[in-house]
Structure 1
Amino acid sequence: MDLTQYVDQLRQELAVAAAAGGDEARALAERLTAPLESAARLTLLNALSAAADEITADLAPGSVDVRLRGIDPEFVVTPPPAAETFDAKAEYEALMAAQVPPPPPAAPDAADDGGTARINLRLPAHVKARVEEAASRDGLSVNAWLVRAVSGAVDGSDARSGPKSGRRDGWSPGNNFTGWVR
Protein backbone atom coordinates (compact mmCIF):
# COMPACT_ATOMS: atom_id res chain seq x y z
CA MET A 1 0.00 0.00 0.00
CA ASP A 2 1.51 3.31 -1.07
CA LEU A 3 1.21 5.95 1.68
CA THR A 4 2.64 8.74 -0.52
CA GLN A 5 -0.76 10.00 -1.66
CA TYR A 6 -1.92 10.32 1.96
CA VAL A 7 1.24 12.11 3.06
CA ASP A 8 0.97 14.46 0.04
CA GLN A 9 -2.65 15.20 0.91
CA LEU A 10 -1.60 16.06 4.48
CA ARG A 11 1.13 18.36 3.10
CA GLN A 12 -1.45 20.15 0.89
CA GLU A 13 -3.86 20.59 3.81
CA LEU A 14 -1.06 22.06 5.94
CA ALA A 15 -0.14 24.48 3.10
CA VAL A 16 -3.77 25.61 2.79
CA ALA A 17 -4.01 26.17 6.56
CA ALA A 18 -0.67 28.08 6.58
CA ALA A 19 -1.75 30.29 3.66
CA ALA A 20 -4.40 31.80 5.89
CA GLY A 21 -1.62 33.00 8.22
CA GLY A 22 0.30 34.94 5.59
CA ASP A 23 3.64 34.57 3.81
CA GLU A 24 5.62 33.97 6.97
CA ALA A 25 3.33 31.09 8.11
CA ARG A 26 3.37 29.57 4.61
CA ALA A 27 7.20 29.60 4.55
CA LEU A 28 7.30 27.98 8.01
CA ALA A 29 4.84 25.27 6.91
CA GLU A 30 6.99 24.49 3.86
CA ARG A 31 10.07 24.10 6.08
CA LEU A 32 8.17 21.80 8.50
CA THR A 33 6.55 19.48 5.95
CA ALA A 34 9.73 17.58 5.06
CA PRO A 35 10.54 16.57 8.68
CA LEU A 36 6.87 15.84 9.38
CA GLU A 37 6.65 13.33 6.50
CA SER A 38 8.24 10.51 8.52
CA ALA A 39 6.02 11.32 11.53
CA ALA A 40 2.94 11.27 9.30
CA ARG A 41 3.96 7.88 7.81
CA LEU A 42 4.52 6.46 11.31
CA THR A 43 1.12 7.73 12.46
CA LEU A 44 -0.56 6.15 9.42
CA LEU A 45 1.24 2.85 10.10
CA ASN A 46 0.00 2.92 13.70
CA ALA A 47 -3.57 3.47 12.47
CA LEU A 48 -3.24 0.59 9.97
CA SER A 49 -1.84 -1.69 12.68
CA ALA A 50 -4.73 -0.85 15.01
CA ALA A 51 -7.21 -1.57 12.21
CA ALA A 52 -5.50 -4.90 11.48
CA ASP A 53 -5.75 -5.82 15.18
CA GLU A 54 -9.50 -5.11 15.18
CA ILE A 55 -10.00 -7.18 12.03
CA THR A 56 -7.93 -10.01 13.53
CA ALA A 57 -10.13 -10.02 16.64
CA ASP A 58 -13.19 -10.55 14.41
CA LEU A 59 -11.44 -13.03 12.14
CA ALA A 60 -9.91 -15.22 14.89
CA PRO A 61 -8.41 -17.79 14.64
CA GLY A 62 -7.30 -16.19 11.34
CA SER A 63 -5.28 -12.97 11.36
CA VAL A 64 -4.33 -9.82 9.46
CA ASP A 65 -0.80 -8.45 9.86
CA VAL A 66 0.81 -5.25 8.62
CA ARG A 67 4.38 -5.68 7.35
CA LEU A 68 6.76 -3.10 5.97
CA ARG A 69 8.34 -3.51 2.54
CA GLY A 70 10.76 -0.59 2.32
CA ILE A 71 8.67 2.39 3.37
CA ASP A 72 5.31 0.96 2.27
CA PRO A 73 3.09 -1.27 4.42
CA GLU A 74 1.73 -4.56 3.14
CA PHE A 75 -1.23 -6.52 4.51
CA VAL A 76 -0.79 -10.26 5.10
CA VAL A 77 -4.03 -12.18 5.62
CA THR A 78 -3.86 -15.61 7.25
CA PRO A 79 -7.20 -17.43 6.90
CA PRO A 80 -8.50 -19.60 9.76
CA PRO A 81 -7.22 -23.18 9.61
CA ALA A 82 -9.43 -25.82 8.02
CA ALA A 83 -11.99 -27.30 10.38
CA GLU A 84 -10.66 -30.78 9.74
CA THR A 85 -7.98 -31.69 12.28
CA PHE A 86 -6.46 -34.99 13.23
CA ASP A 87 -8.07 -36.58 16.27
CA ALA A 88 -6.12 -39.67 17.38
CA LYS A 89 -8.91 -40.91 19.65
CA ALA A 90 -11.53 -40.65 16.89
CA GLU A 91 -9.19 -42.40 14.44
CA TYR A 92 -8.60 -45.22 16.94
CA GLU A 93 -12.32 -45.61 17.62
CA ALA A 94 -13.05 -45.66 13.88
CA LEU A 95 -10.39 -48.34 13.39
CA MET A 96 -11.80 -50.44 16.21
CA ALA A 97 -15.35 -50.02 14.88
CA ALA A 98 -14.18 -51.19 11.44
CA GLN A 99 -12.77 -54.40 12.96
CA VAL A 100 -16.01 -55.30 14.73
CA PRO A 101 -18.88 -56.09 12.39
CA PRO A 102 -21.78 -53.75 12.99
CA PRO A 103 -24.92 -55.30 14.40
CA PRO A 104 -27.42 -56.34 11.75
CA PRO A 105 -30.24 -53.88 11.18
CA ALA A 106 -33.46 -54.43 13.05
CA ALA A 107 -35.89 -56.68 11.26
CA PRO A 108 -38.87 -54.79 9.91
CA ASP A 109 -42.15 -55.26 11.70
CA ALA A 110 -44.67 -57.55 10.06
CA ALA A 111 -47.09 -54.64 10.11
CA ASP A 112 -44.53 -52.32 8.50
CA ASP A 113 -45.73 -51.30 5.07
CA GLY A 114 -42.33 -49.81 4.16
CA GLY A 115 -43.46 -46.20 4.49
CA THR A 116 -41.71 -43.72 6.73
CA ALA A 117 -42.94 -40.77 8.72
CA ARG A 118 -41.02 -37.71 9.76
CA ILE A 119 -41.13 -36.23 13.25
CA ASN A 120 -39.16 -33.48 14.94
CA LEU A 121 -37.52 -34.58 18.17
CA ARG A 122 -36.05 -31.97 20.50
CA LEU A 123 -33.42 -33.29 22.89
CA PRO A 124 -31.38 -31.50 25.54
CA ALA A 125 -27.80 -31.02 24.32
CA HIS A 126 -26.34 -33.47 26.85
CA VAL A 127 -28.83 -36.19 25.82
CA LYS A 128 -28.12 -35.56 22.12
CA ALA A 129 -24.40 -35.99 22.78
CA ARG A 130 -25.04 -39.31 24.56
CA VAL A 131 -27.26 -40.50 21.66
CA GLU A 132 -24.52 -39.62 19.16
CA GLU A 133 -21.93 -41.51 21.25
CA ALA A 134 -24.18 -44.57 21.54
CA ALA A 135 -24.95 -44.57 17.82
CA SER A 136 -21.26 -44.27 16.99
CA ARG A 137 -20.41 -47.05 19.43
CA ASP A 138 -23.03 -49.32 17.78
CA GLY A 139 -21.86 -48.39 14.28
CA LEU A 140 -25.20 -46.80 13.35
CA SER A 141 -26.41 -43.43 12.24
CA VAL A 142 -28.23 -41.39 14.86
CA ASN A 143 -31.49 -41.92 12.99
CA ALA A 144 -31.05 -45.72 12.79
CA TRP A 145 -30.08 -45.84 16.46
CA LEU A 146 -33.17 -43.81 17.46
CA VAL A 147 -35.45 -46.02 15.32
CA ARG A 148 -34.00 -49.12 17.00
CA ALA A 149 -34.32 -47.56 20.48
CA VAL A 150 -37.93 -46.49 19.92
CA SER A 151 -38.85 -49.89 18.40
CA GLY A 152 -37.29 -51.64 21.39
CA ALA A 153 -39.12 -49.40 23.85
CA VAL A 154 -42.46 -49.90 22.09
CA ASP A 155 -41.96 -53.70 21.81
CA GLY A 156 -40.67 -53.95 25.38
CA SER A 157 -37.30 -55.49 24.42
CA ASP A 158 -33.82 -54.17 25.19
CA ALA A 159 -33.13 -51.75 22.32
CA ARG A 160 -29.36 -51.82 22.92
CA SER A 161 -28.99 -55.52 22.37
CA GLY A 162 -30.41 -55.38 18.85
CA PRO A 163 -32.05 -58.36 17.19
CA LYS A 164 -31.11 -61.81 18.46
CA SER A 165 -28.96 -63.81 16.12
CA GLY A 166 -30.37 -67.20 17.03
CA ARG A 167 -26.90 -68.82 16.90
CA ARG A 168 -26.21 -71.84 19.06
CA ASP A 169 -22.68 -70.79 20.05
CA GLY A 170 -24.02 -67.81 22.02
CA TRP A 171 -22.52 -65.20 19.72
CA SER A 172 -24.51 -62.01 19.35
CA PRO A 173 -23.52 -58.59 18.02
CA GLY A 174 -22.62 -57.33 21.51
CA ASN A 175 -20.32 -60.28 22.41
CA ASN A 176 -17.24 -59.46 20.34
CA PHE A 177 -13.69 -59.65 21.63
CA THR A 178 -10.54 -58.44 19.92
CA GLY A 179 -6.88 -58.89 20.80
CA TRP A 180 -4.09 -61.47 20.83
CA VAL A 181 -4.07 -64.91 22.42
CA ARG A 182 -1.11 -67.13 23.29
Structure 2
Amino acid sequence: MNLTQYVDQLRQELAVAAEAGGDEARALAERLTRPLESAARLTLLNALSAAADEITVDLAPGSVDVRLRGVDPEFVVTPPPAAEVFDARAEYAALMAAQAPPPPAAPDAADDGGTARINLRLPAHVKARVEEAANRDGLSVNAWLVRAVSGALDQPDARPGGKTGHREAWNSGSTFTGWVR
Protein backbone atom coordinates (compact mmCIF):
# COMPACT_ATOMS: atom_id res chain seq x y z
CA MET A 1 0.00 0.00 0.00
CA ASN A 2 1.51 3.27 -1.08
CA LEU A 3 1.22 5.85 1.72
CA THR A 4 2.76 8.64 -0.37
CA GLN A 5 -0.59 9.76 -1.80
CA TYR A 6 -2.04 10.12 1.72
CA VAL A 7 1.00 12.00 3.04
CA ASP A 8 0.89 14.30 -0.02
CA GLN A 9 -2.82 14.92 0.56
CA LEU A 10 -2.10 15.87 4.18
CA ARG A 11 0.66 18.23 2.98
CA GLN A 12 -1.77 19.87 0.52
CA GLU A 13 -4.43 20.28 3.21
CA LEU A 14 -1.89 21.94 5.50
CA ALA A 15 -0.89 24.31 2.68
CA VAL A 16 -4.55 25.23 2.04
CA ALA A 17 -5.08 25.89 5.75
CA ALA A 18 -1.90 28.01 5.87
CA GLU A 19 -3.13 30.18 2.97
CA ALA A 20 -5.76 31.63 5.29
CA GLY A 21 -3.02 32.85 7.65
CA GLY A 22 -1.04 34.83 5.09
CA ASP A 23 2.59 34.69 3.96
CA GLU A 24 4.05 34.03 7.39
CA ALA A 25 1.74 31.05 8.04
CA ARG A 26 2.40 29.70 4.53
CA ALA A 27 6.20 29.85 5.12
CA LEU A 28 5.80 28.11 8.47
CA ALA A 29 3.66 25.38 6.89
CA GLU A 30 6.29 24.80 4.19
CA ARG A 31 9.01 24.46 6.86
CA LEU A 32 6.91 21.98 8.87
CA THR A 33 5.73 19.66 6.09
CA ARG A 34 9.01 17.81 5.54
CA PRO A 35 9.56 16.91 9.23
CA LEU A 36 5.89 15.97 9.57
CA GLU A 37 6.10 13.45 6.72
CA SER A 38 7.70 10.73 8.85
CA ALA A 39 5.32 11.41 11.73
CA ALA A 40 2.35 11.17 9.37
CA ARG A 41 3.62 7.87 7.94
CA LEU A 42 4.12 6.46 11.44
CA THR A 43 0.63 7.54 12.50
CA LEU A 44 -0.91 5.96 9.39
CA LEU A 45 1.06 2.76 10.04
CA ASN A 46 -0.21 2.64 13.63
CA ALA A 47 -3.78 3.08 12.42
CA LEU A 48 -3.35 0.30 9.83
CA SER A 49 -1.86 -2.03 12.45
CA ALA A 50 -4.74 -1.37 14.83
CA ALA A 51 -7.22 -2.04 12.02
CA ALA A 52 -5.44 -5.29 11.13
CA ASP A 53 -5.65 -6.38 14.78
CA GLU A 54 -9.40 -5.69 14.87
CA ILE A 55 -9.95 -7.59 11.62
CA THR A 56 -7.88 -10.51 12.91
CA VAL A 57 -10.10 -10.81 15.99
CA ASP A 58 -13.14 -11.23 13.70
CA LEU A 59 -11.28 -13.47 11.25
CA ALA A 60 -9.74 -15.88 13.81
CA PRO A 61 -8.25 -18.42 13.31
CA GLY A 62 -7.32 -16.51 10.16
CA SER A 63 -5.27 -13.36 10.48
CA VAL A 64 -4.25 -10.09 8.87
CA ASP A 65 -0.68 -8.90 9.36
CA VAL A 66 0.89 -5.60 8.37
CA ARG A 67 4.48 -5.83 7.13
CA LEU A 68 6.70 -2.92 6.31
CA ARG A 69 8.48 -3.15 2.95
CA GLY A 70 10.74 -0.15 2.55
CA VAL A 71 8.58 2.81 3.53
CA ASP A 72 5.23 1.28 2.59
CA PRO A 73 3.15 -1.31 4.43
CA GLU A 74 1.80 -4.47 2.85
CA PHE A 75 -1.02 -6.66 4.14
CA VAL A 76 -0.67 -10.42 4.49
CA VAL A 77 -4.03 -12.16 4.86
CA THR A 78 -4.22 -15.72 6.11
CA PRO A 79 -7.83 -16.84 5.64
CA PRO A 80 -9.40 -19.28 8.09
CA PRO A 81 -9.79 -22.86 6.88
CA ALA A 82 -12.99 -23.00 4.86
CA ALA A 83 -14.09 -26.58 5.54
CA GLU A 84 -13.32 -26.88 9.23
CA VAL A 85 -13.49 -24.87 12.39
CA PHE A 86 -10.28 -24.87 14.35
CA ASP A 87 -10.57 -26.44 17.80
CA ALA A 88 -7.23 -26.44 19.63
CA ARG A 89 -8.41 -28.98 22.18
CA ALA A 90 -9.59 -31.42 19.49
CA GLU A 91 -6.31 -30.97 17.58
CA TYR A 92 -4.34 -31.65 20.73
CA ALA A 93 -6.48 -34.68 21.66
CA ALA A 94 -6.01 -36.18 18.18
CA LEU A 95 -2.24 -35.64 18.37
CA MET A 96 -2.00 -37.20 21.82
CA ALA A 97 -4.17 -40.19 20.80
CA ALA A 98 -1.98 -40.81 17.73
CA GLN A 99 1.19 -40.86 19.84
CA ALA A 100 -0.47 -43.01 22.57
CA PRO A 101 1.22 -41.45 25.63
CA PRO A 102 -0.50 -41.41 29.02
CA PRO A 103 -3.61 -39.18 29.05
CA PRO A 104 -2.93 -35.50 29.75
CA ALA A 105 -3.88 -33.95 33.06
CA ALA A 106 -7.35 -32.44 33.29
CA PRO A 107 -7.47 -28.74 32.44
CA ASP A 108 -7.65 -26.26 35.29
CA ALA A 109 -11.12 -25.38 36.49
CA ALA A 110 -10.23 -21.70 35.91
CA ASP A 111 -9.69 -22.34 32.18
CA ASP A 112 -12.63 -20.72 30.42
CA GLY A 113 -11.64 -22.11 27.01
CA GLY A 114 -11.00 -18.63 25.60
CA THR A 115 -8.13 -17.74 23.36
CA ALA A 116 -5.41 -15.13 23.70
CA ARG A 117 -3.43 -13.39 21.01
CA ILE A 118 0.34 -13.02 21.12
CA ASN A 119 2.85 -11.71 18.62
CA LEU A 120 5.67 -14.15 17.96
CA ARG A 121 8.73 -13.08 16.03
CA LEU A 122 10.60 -15.93 14.36
CA PRO A 123 13.70 -15.89 12.20
CA ALA A 124 12.71 -16.26 8.54
CA HIS A 125 14.28 -19.72 8.21
CA VAL A 126 12.39 -21.01 11.27
CA LYS A 127 9.12 -19.52 10.01
CA ALA A 128 9.62 -21.27 6.66
CA ARG A 129 10.16 -24.60 8.45
CA VAL A 130 7.03 -24.04 10.58
CA GLU A 131 4.98 -23.31 7.44
CA GLU A 132 6.33 -26.45 5.75
CA ALA A 133 5.50 -28.60 8.79
CA ALA A 134 2.00 -27.11 9.04
CA ASN A 135 1.33 -27.75 5.34
CA ARG A 136 2.67 -31.29 5.66
CA ASP A 137 0.28 -31.93 8.58
CA GLY A 138 -2.64 -30.22 6.81
CA LEU A 139 -2.91 -27.52 9.50
CA SER A 140 -2.79 -23.77 9.63
CA VAL A 141 0.40 -22.28 11.05
CA ASN A 142 -1.56 -21.19 14.12
CA ALA A 143 -2.99 -24.70 14.69
CA TRP A 144 0.45 -26.23 14.23
CA LEU A 145 2.03 -23.81 16.72
CA VAL A 146 -0.74 -24.43 19.27
CA ARG A 147 -0.20 -28.17 18.89
CA ALA A 148 3.60 -27.84 19.21
CA VAL A 149 3.44 -25.59 22.27
CA SER A 150 0.81 -27.78 23.97
CA GLY A 151 2.89 -30.88 23.32
CA ALA A 152 6.05 -29.23 24.62
CA LEU A 153 4.33 -28.02 27.79
CA ASP A 154 2.90 -31.46 28.54
CA GLN A 155 6.27 -33.20 28.36
CA PRO A 156 7.38 -34.01 31.94
CA ASP A 157 10.98 -32.95 31.25
CA ALA A 158 9.91 -29.59 29.79
CA ARG A 159 8.55 -28.26 33.08
CA PRO A 160 10.68 -25.86 35.14
CA GLY A 161 12.93 -27.82 37.42
CA GLY A 162 12.55 -31.00 35.36
CA LYS A 163 15.83 -32.93 35.45
CA THR A 164 15.21 -35.82 33.07
CA GLY A 165 16.37 -36.59 29.57
CA HIS A 166 18.20 -34.15 27.35
CA ARG A 167 16.75 -31.14 29.13
CA GLU A 168 18.95 -31.60 32.17
CA ALA A 169 21.88 -29.83 30.48
CA TRP A 170 19.54 -27.10 29.29
CA ASN A 171 18.27 -26.45 32.81
CA SER A 172 21.76 -26.44 34.32
CA GLY A 173 21.47 -22.84 35.51
CA SER A 174 23.35 -21.23 32.62
CA THR A 175 21.71 -18.03 31.47
CA PHE A 176 22.23 -15.96 28.37
CA THR A 177 21.19 -12.38 27.74
CA GLY A 178 21.28 -10.14 24.73
CA TRP A 179 19.83 -9.92 21.24
CA VAL A 180 19.95 -12.60 18.60
CA ARG A 181 19.52 -11.96 14.92
- TM-score normalised according to structure 2 size: 0.47
Which has the larger share of helix? 2
Q: Give the structure with higher Rg (CA).
A: 1
